[in-house]
Copies of this chain bind each other. A is one copy, B any other.
Amino acid sequence: MGPGVGEFRLKILVISPITGVSDSTLALRRKHLVQIASPETQVEVVKLKNGPASIESSLDEYYAAPELLARVMEAEKQGYDAVVDHCFGDPALHAARECVRIPVVGAGEASMMVASLLGHSFSVLTVLKETVPNVKRLARSIGMEDRLASVRYIGIPVLHLDENIQATRRAFIDTARKAIEEDDADVICPGCAALSAWASEWGEELGVPVVDPGGVAFKMAEALVKLQLTHSAKSYPRPPIKRRTLPLVAPST
């Protein structure tokens, strides 16, 4: 029902900045994004060859950055109209914006902005106890701390979320109910882009909006392209030209 090959007017690259996601999962994510995409938008979903298996710490974000940044720069050269940083942690988001003039949208920032349009306050449901502080830090860094009712975790690592989706659903619904009742959240943000595809279904079950993190970032990217908007060159000046190298051997924790 969409346009044939070559008819797309928008090309958006969605980068899952991790290595541990399977190709079949990527394909499902692409399918989900195609469903919500405009018919004129071509959706490409890729993962990293080198980086962290998943992002569950600030350390992981620094492993994700090198290839992620290379891919973003490449995407601009290849004619993509926008890039989605498909991770709630928004890894290397500001650096990416410095490097290209096409819009780069992060799932965390976009989720929190849209959540704040849908209700007075929102809770983020992150994956692990260990990832709670990073979500709090992200909310503070974008000035959304006052909107944050709470950060709770469901206790399932990123790469296990879709192993048993019913168990994930139960953990998510139970935790969300606590956020709604005990923390007075009006909106729920899944704190992991891997949960994107279930957001609207679980929102129906909960009776409050559940913001699809990958989806809102994708639709925001699409909107910016159509509106011919991108991040301010004043906030994101191009990095000065200089010598930059990376070590051949990475730090091992």
Contact = CB atoms under 8 A, between A and B. Distances in A.
A207 B233 contact: yes
Given A73-B251, A223-B220, A231 B66 contact: no
A162 interface: no
A38 B40 contact: yes
Contacts of A240: 56-57, 128, 130, 157
Nearest to A147: B143
B58 A95 contact: yes
A3 to B, nearest CB: 8
Interface stretch (A22-30, A78-86, A211-219): A211-219
Contact of A143 (B118, B133, B140, B229): B140
Interface string A142-173: 11011100000000010000000000000000
Given A209-B231, A232-B187, A253-B241, A59 B98 contact: yes
Contacts of A21: none
Interface string A68-84: 01100100000000000
Contact of A231 (B118, B134, B145, B238): B118
A131 to B, nearest CB: 8
Interface string A215-253: 110011011101111111111111111111111111111
Interface core residue of A66, A110, A157, A200 (most chain B CB under 10 Å) = A66
A120 B19 contact: no
A235 B208 CA distance: 9
Given A38-B38, A186-B234, 9 more contacts: A38-B39, A59-B239, A69-B251, A114-B223, A119-B236, A143-B146, A216-B223, A219-B226, A220-B223
Interface of A: 19-20, 36-40, 49-54, 56-63, 65-67, 69-70, 73, 92, 94-95, 98-99, 105, 109-110, 113-114, 116-120, 128-130, 133-134, 136-137, 140-143, 145-147, 157, 180, 186-187, 199-200, 203, 207-209, 211-212, 215-216, 219-220, 222-224, 226-253
